[in-house]
């Protein structure tokens, strides 16, 4: 069976500016708030990416932060599958 890899992670935030400051300052991540129309999902580039935001380095992934709504199981790891 073809492997379906983990390609992304997600964590919640309560304050978009604060979470962006923290991860960019401590880990050097590129934090990009996608704006109101995208629910202020914050893209987190943890790895070297090309101009299309695709990761260039094997064994590394990017992720994202979403606005916290209610208690849930997080962080999430996101698995890429061929189909559902």
Least Å distance, CB 20 to a second copy, is 14
Asked if 4 interacts with a second copy (CB under 8 A), we say yes
Q: In angstroms, how far is CA 51 from the centroid of its own chain?
A: 17
Asked if 56 interacts with a second copy (CB under 8 A), we say yes
Interface pick for a second copy out of 14, 36, 54, 84 (rule CB under 8 A)? 54
Asked if 20 interacts with a second copy (CB under 8 A), we say no
Asked if 68 interacts with a second copy (CB under 8 A), we say no
Distance CA 63, CA 10 (A): 6
Q: Which residues contact 48 (CB under 8 A, 6 or more apart)?
A: 55, 56, 57, 60
Q: CA torsion 28→33→38→43, rounded to 10°?
A: -10
Instruction: Give the interface with a second copy as residue ranges (CB under 8 A).
Output: 1-7, 9, 11, 24, 27-30, 45-48, 54-63, 75-77, 79-81
């Amino acid at each position: 069976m073809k492997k379906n890899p983990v390609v992304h992670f997600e964590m919640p935030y309560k304050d978009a500016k604060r979470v962006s400051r923290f991860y960019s300052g401590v880990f050097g991540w590129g934090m990009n708030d996608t704006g109101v129309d995208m629910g202020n999902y914050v893209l987190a580039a943890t790895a070297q990416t090309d101009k299309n935001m695709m990761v260039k380095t094997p064994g590394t992934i990017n992720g994202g932060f979403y606005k916290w709504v209610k208690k849930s199981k997080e962080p999430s790891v996101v698995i890429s599958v061929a189909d559902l």
